[in-house]
Amino acid sequence: MIKIFYRRGSEIVFSPSQTEFAAISKENVLWIDLLDPSGEEKRATESFLGTEIQSRAEAEEIESSSRFYEEGAAIFANTNFLSPAGDEMTMETVSFILSDGVLTTLRENPLRSFDTLQMKIQARPEQFPDGFTVFVEIMDKRVDLDADIVELIGKDVSQFSKRVNQKEDINEEFLLDINQLQENAMFVRENIVDKQRLISNILKSKRCPKNPELREDLNIILQDITSLINHTNFAFERLEYLQDTVLGIINLDQNNIMKIFTFVSVLLMPATLLASFYGMNVTLPFADKWWAWIAITAVMLMLVFGIWWIFRHRKMM
């Protein structure tokens, strides 16, 4: 699927067909959005731009340190867009090409932020003079969505902290939930840092317009990203603290269980020793008396009570 956004008078309209390239000039085109494009749509776009568009597999294989590069008059950039999916995060790779003021995006799946922006472009055409402003708006909306994800992680951390304080369901499953949230926090942080690197490279590029308003908007986005990284780091530190606390509580519970078993064993040990003596098939003092079993039982109870009193007096239980 292809959508070509271009100026027609004072309006911005779009065409869903690559055949429109023959009827419009490159100066009027703002944005070419390729959503899981066919081979014909991709080749027509490459011919119109005069540059090659990388495939999805190539975009995903590029290392994070090489997600931004320049070739000829074009800027190529790749980044990932995250979306919550239950307890995990789904990742969608989006490729950007900025060439002569025209923005080209390549993606495989629909993104709500793109659909919202496309409606805004047609509603307020005066705010989008070229493809660079469209790119800045995409990154701004994406950072806002990342901020929502960071906020959701912060709320989950607060709920987990409340459960720890109330000692509610502190078990192995809860520990695994904390670990999953840690993975999500790291995933989000890596994604935000990737956008920080991308925007920094755009600002340093000689192909970036010298428009002060556009550059100011990019700098503001960088400040927002820095703030998000700090919030993500704080959330991750809280999760590490919660993880240590949960492990400590689990260890204390296990120690208390072992303490009880040890106490019971020591408590019954003298009585068991006495009973074993009188259980032997030998002659023992008072063994032939009718009251022997009463005396032995009394001594056993006295030993149990005595050991219990010693433990209690020394606060060992």
Q: What is the rounded CA–CA span in Å between residue 21 and residue 29?
A: 9
Provide mean pLDDT across the span 75-81: 85
Provide mean pLDDT across the span 51-67: 63
Provide mean pLDDT across the span 116-143: 87
* Domain 254-313 fold: Methane Monooxygenase Hydroxylase; Chain G, domain 1 (1.20.58)
What architecture does CATH give domain 2-251? Answer: 2-Layer Sandwich (3.30)
108 and 34 Cβ atoms separated by less than 8 Å: no
Beta strands in 102-165 (DSSP E): 102-107
- CA-nearest of 89, 115, 98, 108 to 191 is 89
Hunting for tokens 């459960």 — which residue is that?
A: 163
179-205: per-residue pLDDT in tens?
888 888 888 888 888 888 888 888 888
Q: What is the rounded CA–CA span in Å between residue 77 and residue 171?
A: 44
For the chain, the structural domain boundaries read 2-251, 254-313
* From 13-22, 173-182, 301-310, the region with the lowest mean pLDDT: 301-310
Q: What is the rounded CA–CA span in Å between residue 115 and residue 266?
A: 72
Contacts of residue 44, Cβ cutoff 8 Å, sequence gap at least 6: 18, 19, 21
17 and 37 Cβ atoms separated by less than 8 Å: no
* From 88-92, 208-212, 270-274, the region with the lowest mean pLDDT: 270-274
- pLDDT, the chain, mean: 80
Query: From the CB of residue 41, how many other CB atoms can be counted at a distance below 10 Å?
Result: 19
35-46: per-residue pLDDT in tens?
888 888 888 888
- Residue 52 pLDDT exceeds 70: yes
224-243: per-residue pLDDT in tens?
999 999 988 888 888 888 87
- Residue 277 pLDDT exceeds 70: no
Q: For position 223, what pLDDT does the model report?
A: 92
Tell me the chain's radius of gyration from C-alpha atoms.
35
278 and 297 Cβ atoms separated by less than 8 Å: no
- Residue 59 pLDDT exceeds 60: no
130 and 101 Cβ atoms separated by less than 8 Å: yes
Q: How many residues does the chain have?
A: 317
Provide mean pLDDT across the span 167-181: 77
- Residue 108 pLDDT exceeds 80: yes
Q: For position 41, what pLDDT does the model report?
A: 87
Provide mean pLDDT across the span 292-307: 73
Q: For position 60, what pLDDT does the model report?
A: 56
SS3 of 36, please?
A: coil
- Residue 102 pLDDT exceeds 60: yes
Provide mean pLDDT across the span 75-100: 81
